[in-house]
Amino acid sequence: MSRSSSSKSPPVSVARVLADDGSLLPGCEAPVDLEQAVAGYRWMVQTRFLDERLTALQRQGRVGFHVGSLGEEAAIIGAAMALREQDWIFPCYREFGAALARGFSLQGYIDNMFGNARDTVKGRQMPDHYTSREHHFVSISSPVGTQITQAVGFGWGAKIRNDDLVTLVFFGDGATSSSEFHAGMNFAAVFKTPTVFLCRNNGWAISVPLERQTATKTFAEKGAAYNVPAVRVDGNDLFAVVAEVGKAVERASNGEGPTLIEALTYRMGGHSTNDDPNAYRGPEDLEPWRTRDPIALLRGYLEVNGAWDDAKEQRWREELERDFRAAVASSEAAPRPELESMFTDVYSQPTPNLVEQGNELLEGPRAPEH
């Protein structure tokens, strides 16, 4: 693992494995074998493909909203790859790639985008607010930072029960300004909860730039205030992310407590499909990051090692296109959630007042459908 200094940061080491051409840096080893590296690459390509297609669907008015992860694929997929099956992910809202890498089906994800009857949250939330208990992927909530304390509390409960699991929580640089970040970091440090804090420093909190978000030189150094070990990692380097998250998971599993990881990356697109990044930044801001495109970096490594080529790329993209079109067609044809579903999943046994309200709703007048 090579550690170099970022040109836009103070001389604080940044963990890297891949050089700009995709080769391994001197003295570095890949933390995964070629088969796993190919799987990581396919998941990253799938993530970017879905970003493009879902943005197009939103522009067509077929889905209402999409939160993309353009340029941040390695930080998301790499972290998911470093987890064990029993570990849990607490996402913010860009981590659909991690959910798919954990086994969540493409159809299930697209069902959420359309909010149909098969949607795991039954259309109650905005698109891109998916969840899968089966794959240990907790429900997304929109308020900034709330997932941080949730991940710490879940980890604390696991520690009390002597369950060997680790919670990984994703959040952006903007969430470090929330009270949830302070409460979560402090509690995790005091009680040594098995939690990995992954701050994806992508340069922007919607339209608020990094320098307006914090007075510290880095986000990783915030760990010192809580006595939490911290590391900075090149978030566009899949191998570096896998390696550093893997170390943090091992520490947490061994009872050594939490780790704070600052993954340096860049949000190449807008905050969401409702955002126009051209209003607050210029195209020149993106140029330095194009040379560290996470997908291009990993592809360079795979090509050098004979594991990927143009023919495989074309076949994979054709498969993605076919599966995506089928999933969209199925989701659009699926029925809407049943009206009574709004009263389910609140309590394991519905309370009398909920039963009464449900009956009144179903027996009362209905607004006409348009």
Catalytically active residues, by annotation: 267, 271, 280
Residue 137: left if φ>0, alpha if ψ -120 to 50, beta else—which one?
beta
Measuring CA to CA, how many Å separate 311 from each of 7, 307, 308, 315, 317?
37, 11, 8, 6, 10
The amino acid that residue 28 corresponds to is: C
DSSP 254-276: TT---EEEEEE----S-SSTT--
End-to-end CA distance of the chain: 59
CA distance 233 to 180: 23
Neighbours of 17 (CB within 10 A): 25
337 secondary structure, DSSP code:
P
Q: Which helix (H) or strand (E) holds 243?
A: helix 238-253
> Using N-to-C axis directions, what is the helix angle for 310-333 and 106-114, rounded to 10°?
50
The CA angle 70-21-99, to the nearest 5 degrees, is 35
Cα atoms in the 13 Å half-sphere on the side-chain side of 95: 34
